[in-house]
Amino acid sequence: MAQGMGSQDHSSVIQRMAQAARDGSDSRQMTPVKALRLSLARAADTLFGLGLTVATVEQMRVPLAHVGRSLGDAGLLVLLEGDGGARGALCLDSQFLAGLIEVQTTGSVRPGLARPRAATRTDAAMVAPLIDAVLTEFESQLAQEHDAPPPRRFGFGVMVEDLRGLSLLLVAPDFELLRLTVDLGPGAKTGRLDLLLPVIASPARASSGKIANTKIEAPANLEQVVNNAPVMLDAVMARLRLPLRDILALKPGDLLPFQRETLNDTQLVGTRGRIVATAELGQMNGLRALRLISGAAAPLPPSIETEPEPVPTEPRRGTDLIPIESQDRPRETI
């Protein structure tokens, strides 16, 4: 009988340890994973009346170079913006996103797997209030600790198309990745939420053991940082309207109809479709090149050549041609 009681006590201890591991650590301490779990459950219930059950939690340190392989490539990817230029990211997989859209459009989460699809701007707008509420509550939970870092006030920034674009927007060298596997409904769908936040440097401590007052200052080489920041531009020759069946049937070697004038009216497009400059498509030293014609802010200086050729067949001289056959060359899109 005593042996049976001892076995039961041992089992209960193991269960408590497992529960503490799922929460992130000791229940008396407010850890990031525990704060995220509580924040997500409260925000979903308050905004949508949606019950959530967190099945698993993970926390790991991820360097910037490994962000692309650590986050999922399906679902909704959002850039988070905080105080002082801090940037993070939040990713909802396709099942989590589908559950949030369903509960807002039909009043409940439909049982079963949702068909994976590309996230849209409408999806992002519908879940933005939840993301902001989760982040606000998340920092409020962490602020309960006596040695909590100052709040960074992260919020919904902008939807990002892919992980490559996200990697170009993030600036911190290291990030904390908080990952939750969640049952929505509960039990109707199982989705995943990834929260990526820049690592906060450990505060300096005085010899007395108290935290020293520190002031965040802009880096001295800010100009160098800005000048070396990567910029991705797309060279858009033309825009076509085609039936969906024709687009799905495209294969290497197919030809698309273009007017010859489009070679002289190529647009350099930045993020979010902003036109940076107009250009003329040609070649230089056997490579594809763009000759800038005018900029978005002001026209560029006139070219020395008085009679430019629309489609150069020989390498041009001068500095107004920009080779784009490189790793960071603008892509030609339709």
**Averaged pLDDT for residues 174-188:** 90
Whether residues 193 and 118 share a domain: the answer is yes
Q: Say if residue 48 is in the same domain as residue 158.
A: yes
Structure tokens at 296: 């978005």
Residues 178 and 98 in one domain: yes
> Which of 201, 218, 249 finishes a domain?
201
Same-domain status, 66 and 171 = yes
* pLDDT at residue number 277: 83
Report the sign of the C-alpha dihedral through residues 85, 171, 134, 111, in that order: positive
pLDDT band, residue 248 (cuts 50/70/90): confident
Predicted local confidence at residue 231, as pLDDT: 65
**Domain contains 111:** yes
- The answer to whether residues 149 and 273 belong to one domain is no
- Contacts of 306-315 with CB under 8 Å at 24 or more apart are 308/280, 309/282, 310/260, 310/263, 310/264, 310/280, 311/263, 311/281, 311/282, 312/282, 312/283, 312/284, 313/283, 315/283, 315/284, 315/285, 315/286
Owning domain of residue 311: 234-241+259-333
Residue 93 in any domain: the answer is: yes
Give yes or no for residue 247 having a pLDDT over 90.
Answer: no
195 and 311 part of one domain: no
In angstroms, the Cα distances linking 238 to 24, 177, 312 are 52, 40, 19
Residues 154 and 283 in one domain: no
pLDDT digits (tens, 9 = 90+) for 287-322: 777 888 776 554 544 443 434 444 444 444 433 444
Per-residue pLDDT band at 223 (split at 50, 70, 90): low
Instruction: Please indicate, yes or no, if residue 194 is contained in any of the structural domains.
Output: yes
The answer to whether position 216 is within a domain reads no
Q: How many CA atoms lie within 13 A of 39 on its CB side?
A: 25
d(CA 194, CA 93): 9
Whether 318 contacts 221, CB under 8 Å: no
Residue 26 pLDDT > 70: no
Mean pLDDT over each residue of the chain, to the nearest integer: 75
Phi, psi of 120 (to 5 degrees): -120, 170
Q: Which residues contact 312 (CB under 8 A, 6 or more apart)?
A: 282, 283, 284
> 263 and 192: one domain?
no
Residue range 79-127, pLDDT digits in tens? 999 988 899 999 999 999 999 999 999 999 999 999 888 899 999 999 9
Res. 240: pLDDT tops 60? yes
Q: State residue 228's pLDDT score.
A: 59
**Domain annotation covers residue 136:** yes
Q: Does residue 5 form part of some domain?
A: no
In a domain, 66, yes or no: yes
Count of structural domains, the chain: 2
Banded pLDDT at 224 (limits 50, 70, 90): low
Does 192 lie in the same domain as 88? yes
SS3 81: strand
Residue 171 pLDDT > 70, yes or no? yes
175 and 284 housed in the same domain: no
Verify that 54 and 197 share a domain, yes or no: yes
Cα 127 to the center of its chain, rounded Å:
14
- Mapped onto helix, strand or coil, the DSSP state of residue 170 is coil
- Does residue 11 belong to any structural domain of this protein? no
Residue 153 maps to which CATH number?
Answer: 3.40.1550.10
| Same domain? 42 vs 133 | yes
Spatial distance between the Cα atoms of 135 and 197, rounded to a whole number of angstroms: 11
